[in-house]
Structure 1
Amino acid sequence: MANPIAVLVEDDPQQAEISEGVLETAGFSVRSFNSIAPARVYLSTSTDLIDLFVLDRRLPVKEGEPATDEFGDELLKEVRSNHPDSRLIVFTGFATVRHIQESLQGGGQLPAQDSQPIDRVTVLEKDQSLEFKEHVVQFRRLLQSLDDIEIITPSGSDPLNELDKRVLRRLAFDYRGVSIVVASLAGGLTEASVWRCEINRSEGRVATVVAKRVKSPGSPGGLAELLPRAKTTATVRTLSGLMAGGYINVLQIAGESPYPLMEIIAEQPAQAVELARPVWDALHGVVAQRRTLTVAELCEPLIAWERLSGLIGAYGISVPAGSLTVTTHVGPRHGDLHPGNVLIDNGQAVLIDFDSEAFAAGALDPITMLISTLVHPASPIRGAAWPVVSEIESAFATGDFGQGHPCELWFRGVQDWISECRTTEREYWALVLAYAGRQLRYQDVLDDREIVERVVAIAKRAAEALANS
């Protein structure tokens, strides 16, 4: 297991040698810099999970230039903003009360169990070497307690990256667990991870939850509060700290073996529709307002119209003017609805992952449900020979689409839901165009020639229909 990473920025060679020795002795892998410019280059290009920053307050921008407190304070501000849950230790030769207050303001604390929480930001004077060592050792001990937690994954599953490992250990740590058994569920368009997690202490299992890695903690209210409780999972807690600035939403589940709807659409399409229908009905029942928008405004929750024009224009498709007006019904929408975000828990379908929630058109969710089945990397249909471009050109958006395919009943069910939710033809084709075009910015789509051909065919059909609407 690799040592955690510490970044040291110190222009005094003697002090840098001392600090680096303390960090390495404690078990950190040190990235050392003697000025701000090379440190900034590293921080802007590295994908390393950085746990600790040790910064001098008085620093030069480049080696050999004059050092000032102002330059060091700028770096501290950048680090605090871009690495919001890393540990910071700031050395200053002149620690004024005002500087301490400014450095500590909003710093917060890092998670702990049996000891006092650790302050995220600490200011020390240069002669406090013993205190520095104590802070470093204390923090390294916290990181080791995370690394001690065992992660168990199913045989044959894809390896977890370092950030995912940290996130899962952080989750188990919050439950005072010693091991966590992890099964991956389908992620969303944001490529965030979703897992079913069994958390164990030495005496046995203490929790079974679904964990979703998110970029922000979210806020109360929204679509999840408007749906019947049986149709959505409750977020029982949101965790932060030591996860590269990210968060974990911990979702309550009822059954022992929840699975994403995505897993059964290929083999049991009729059952997939039957399970999903109550969730679709609940979404369709959310109160909405009739509005007239431009198509650019309509599609903004998916993609900016100018960005869309650039993406599909590269394939020779002309995008109609974004000023076209369109009638729709606007309300809270899931925003990233695909079969992986419908979890079958204890025999009932529930929604997860409200990270892309938007106030948008009623047809948005059913359209993303339809097309995502063809393009989502976890879909069992993606990669098959169907649909060929000619079928998209002749049958997409009709009741004949998917006829004769093993998943015909799935596509028929989703098409029925679209018909219930859409307001106008123009609304439908604008959203299809936006969602299809949006796929062309994802590398997993661009790496698959057949998927690109399908997406381009859908976008071309939508652009022509929109222009003629």
Structure 2
Amino acid sequence: MPNPIAVLVEDDPQQAESSLSILEASRFDARSFESIGPVLEYINTSSELVDLFVLDRRLPVIAGQPASDELGDELLRIVRSKYPDARLIVFTGFATIPHLQDALQGGGQLPAQGSDPIDRVTVLQKNQSLEFKRHVEEYRKLLQDLEDVEVIFLESDGPDRLDNRALRRLAFEYRAVSIRVTPLAGGLTGAKVWRCELHRAEGHIATVIAKRVNKATVPGGLPDLLPRGVTTSTTATLSGLMAGSCLNVLQVAGPTTYSLMSVLGEDPTRAVDLARPVWDALRGIADQSRTLPVSEICVSLLAWDSLSDLLRKHGVEVPSGTLTATVRVGARHGDLHPGNILIDNDQGVLIDFDSATFAGAALDPVTMLISTLVHPDSPIRGASWPGPIEIAETFGTPDFGRGHPCEVWFREVLAWAADSRASEREFWALVLAYSARQLRYADVLSNADTVDRVVAIARRATVVLSAS
């Protein structure tokens, strides 16, 4: 297992040598810089997981140029912003009270299982080498505690280094020593979702769903509007030691939770039966009728200018965004696909509310419909059907999917969409926006057949909107 990475920025050769020696003795892989310019280039170009920054307060932009406290303070600000949960140790020749207050403000504490949590930011004077050594060793022990956790990754290639850290961070929270991980279908935003079985030395202690996200989920909203039976609550949001990302932890009841996506290809009728209670619950959300331009209806998914630019690159000219449409606006999931419905004790429960928004009632059935054709984990995505001709002739009608093994799935999702939409323009505006949004994702753009499928759906939407 590779050693954790530390970044040292120090223009005093003697101090740099001393600090580097302490870092390497504690088994850090150190990246050493003597001025601000090179370290900023590293920060802006590197994707490495950096756990520790050791910064001099007085630094030059380029080696040999005059150094100043102001430049060092600016570097500290940049590092704190870009690495919001890394450990920072700042050396200063004379730490004034205002500087201490500024450096420590909002620093917070790092996760710890003992009674003495570790402060995230520490300011030391240049002569405090023993204190520096103690802080480095203390932090390295915390990282070692994380590395000691066994991660057993099932059913696919193992996780990358950041995923490994996030999973160990989850185990650390539960005081587990081993975690068995099964990947589940993530969102179209690329977020990772896992089913995690947590074990202590004495045996299994919990099974949870974990999703790595870029920011903490705000309490309230759509999950609180749905019946408890069709959704699972976020029991915790973990942060710290994950390169600024967060981990949402969802409690589940059954030991063999799996994704609806895995059911769709094997038994589409059962997939409909499992999904229907979730669809019915979403249909029951209170909303209000409004008349809006289609550009405003689309904004819950994609701004109209961005939509137009993306489709123009693929030869699709959109109609005027000033077309008006009746729409029922309410709380919507925003990224509903079969991977966001988990089967827990033979019941479908809805997860992943990071894209929740206020939008038209047709939004969730539209994303459910199209996602099964474009999602990287969908059993239908790689199939030759539907081709552009089939899409141009039947997409959005009861004939779409007729004769396909998943015919019942498409028929029922389209029936849900027809029941939910307030107007034909609302439905097709959301189809246009969601299909255009797919052209922003690397996994879609890397597959020519999927791009052709998405473009054909968008073109079909423009034809219907223009004729409406």
Band the TM-score falls in, shorter-chain normalisation: over 0.9
What SS does the aligned partner of 1:427 have?
helix
What's the C-alpha RMSD, in Å, of the aligned pairs? 0.9
Any residues of structure 2 matched to 1:172-321 within 5 Å, and which? 172-321=171-320
- Listed as ranges, the gaps of 5+ residues in structure 1 are none
Aligned twin of 2:48: 48
Which residue identity does 2:58 align to in structure 1? Answer: R
- Which whole-Å CA distance do the structure 1 matches of 2:291 and 2:24 have between them? 62
1:264 is paired with a residue of what secondary structure?
helix
- Corresponding residue of 2:109: 109
Deviations 1:408-454 (A, max 9, x none): 00101101110111111111111101111111111111111111111
1:153 and 2:153 matched: yes
Q: Structure 1: which amino acid aligns with 2:73?
A: D
Quote the offset at 1:115 in angstroms: 4.3
Report the equivalent of 1:347: 346
Q: Give 1:309 shift.
A: 1.0
Q: Quote the Cα distance in structure 1 between the aligned partners of 2:366 and 2:446.
A: 23
Shift of 1:76: 0.6
Match of 2:371 in 1: 372
Which secondary structure does the structure 1 equivalent of 2:365 belong to?
A: helix
Equivalence for 1:451: 450
Aligned equivalents of 2:391 and 2:218: distance in 1? Answer: 40
Q: Which residue of 1 aligns with 2:418?
A: 419
SS in structure 1 of the partner of residue 315 of structure 2: coil
The whole-number CA distance in structure 2 between the counterparts of 1:34 and 1:300 is 47
User: Offset at 1:114?
Assistant: 2.3
Secondary structure of the 2:342 match is strand
Amino acid across the alignment from 1:376 = H
The answer (yes or no) to whether the contact 2:217–2:237 under 8 Å persists in 1 is no
Question: Is the 2:238–2:248 contact (alpha carbons within 8 Å) kept by the matching residues of 1?
Answer: yes
State the distance in 1 between where 2:420 and 2:259 align.
23
Superposed displacement of residue 298, structure 1: 1.0
1:423-438 equivalences in 2 (<5 Å): 423-438=422-437
Rounded Cα–Cα distance in structure 1 between residues aligned with 2:8 and 2:327: 55
Letter in 1 for 2:21: G
CA drift of 1:294 comes to: 1.8
Counterpart for residue 69 of structure 1: 69
How far did 1:321 drift?
2.1
| Superposition deviation, residue 324 in structure 1 | 2.1
Q: How far apart are 1:299 and its partner, in Å?
A: 1.1
Shift of 1:301: 1.7
| TM-score where L is the length of structure 1 | 0.99
Looking at structure 2, the residues matched to 289 and 129 of structure 1 have their Cα atoms a distance apart, in angstroms, of 65
> Separation in 2 of the partners of 1:412 and 1:4?
52
Residue aligning to 1:11: 11
Q: Residue 248 of structure 2 aligns to a residue in which SS?
A: strand
Alignment match, 2:385 = 386
Quote the Cα distance in structure 2 between the aligned partners of 1:466 and 1:278: 31
Cα shift at 1:322:
2.0
Amino acid at match of 1:61: V
Could you tell me whether the CA contact under 8 Å between 2:294 and 2:324 is conserved in 1? yes
**Alpha-carbon distance in structure 2 between the residues aligned to 1:293 and 1:58:** 56
Letter of the structure 2 residue corresponding to residue 11 of structure 1 = D
What code does the residue aligned with 1:310 have? D
Alpha-carbon distance, 1:464 to partner: 1.5
Partner SS for 2:264: coil
Task: Find the counterpart in structure 1 of residue 132 from structure 2.
Answer: 132
Instruction: Tell me by how many angstroms 1:372 deviates.
Output: 0.2
Aligned to 2:96: 96
Scaled by the length of structure 2, the TM-score of the pair is 0.99
**Is residue 356 of structure 2 the alignment partner of residue 361 of structure 1?**
no
The residue that corresponds to 1:28 in the other structure is 28
AA at the equivalent of 1:99: H
- My pick for the range that moved more, 300-309 or 373-382, is 300-309
How far the C-alpha of 1:69 sits from its partner, in A, is 0.6
Q: Which amino acid aligns with 1:85?
A: D
**Residue type at the aligned position of 1:109:** Q
Superposed CA deviations along residues 216-269 of structure 1, whole A, max 9, x for unmatched, are 112221000000011100111111110011111110101111111000111211
CA contact (8 A) 2:23 2:136 kept: yes
Distance in structure 2 (CA, Å) of the matches to 1:372 and 1:25 = 51
State the percentage of identical aligned residues. 64
Write out per-residue CA displacement over residues 361-417 of structure 1, whole angstroms, 9 at most, x where no aligned residue.
Answer: 110110000000000000011101111111101110000100000000010110111
Unaligned runs of at least 5 residues, structure 2: none
Structure 1 stretches of 4+ with a deviation exceeding 3 A read none
